[in-house]
Chains A and B, each alone.
Chain A
Amino acid sequence: MQPFRVHTGLVAPLYRPNIDTDQIVPKQFLKRIERTGFGQFLFYDWRYLPDGRPDPSFVLNMPRYRGASVLVAGRNFGCGSSREHAPWALADYGFRAVIAPSFADIFANNAIKNGLLPVVLDEEIVQLIATRAEQSAYTLTIDLEQGEVRDPNASLARFQIDPFARHCLLNGLDEIALTLQHETLIAAYEERRRRRDL
């Protein structure tokens, strides 16, 4: 996976609750058999009008949010399907972190596996960040090493993440290789089960 240590970037606000994976990548784009190139489909039905032109009122189409790499959203972000295409699309578009009051479990897992950091902060702080990002160009630093979110003027909040996920993210570890180190334990487990089921 892509390591994540400290990232500073422009914030794009999409402060709505229950943004589901069908909105993040609509299903008509799930038929590709590659892992790459999903950024063009991110938030497709919101980003483009039915005739295919970009919808100028959608946040990612506003010139001032060009190059945004931190998304701030409402609670239960990523609810719905298990499609990993959702974090693939966010990461491919250029996002490195999503800040929200809460995330759906499967989405958060999938995001971490792709070096996209889900940052859980209190609702009030998330709302504050969203408001500031709506008012003017707002840049945040997300520091996984320190577990801290800072803006150019001050430290805003601390955040928690599962220590194992943090370790994998900081070091960009291949989790499958880690599990395969336990091959003898897996084989022994299978042998115990085989005996029991005889």
Chain B
Amino acid sequence: MPRVLIVAYGNRLRSDDGVGWIVAGDLRQRLASPEVEILQLTQLLPEVAESISHANTVIFVDASCDGEPGELHCRQLTPPPAKAQFSHQLTPAELLGVAGRLYGATPQAFCVSLTGECFEHGEELSESVAGRLPQLASKVEQLTKEVLAGPLATLPSSQEAEAAS
């Protein structure tokens, strides 16, 4: 059972949306450990809830549309109080909620994202995103190592904390 589950997701064929997939390859080498499991997914589906319920900490890695291209965000997630309207896809926070309701386990969770510039068809990252890949990988690695070093109740003050809505 992994202590840290990293869920990197997005569409590799939609340019910057594939940033999670790309960084996951790097993270597999940096974080090779039986205590760390890395999933690469195209989208978040209910099935992931079971894997989430087995982890102590979950780190979602995704591209974001918010902010300026290349901005790095890290926020702590909490399950949403309201129910989702649509079951076709789920947000990271909603998946946490599903894990809690179905499997009785809601691990602490974070979302680390990089704001994308281009989400059109294509397999190349835009320059503003490609140039920030090392920082994205470092942020996830740092967070993972902090988690593995001991309990992490809340985000370190040096990182942006934001309740999931």
A binds B: no
- Interface set of B (CB-CB < 8 Å, partner A): none
- Interface set of A (CB-CB < 8 Å, partner B): none
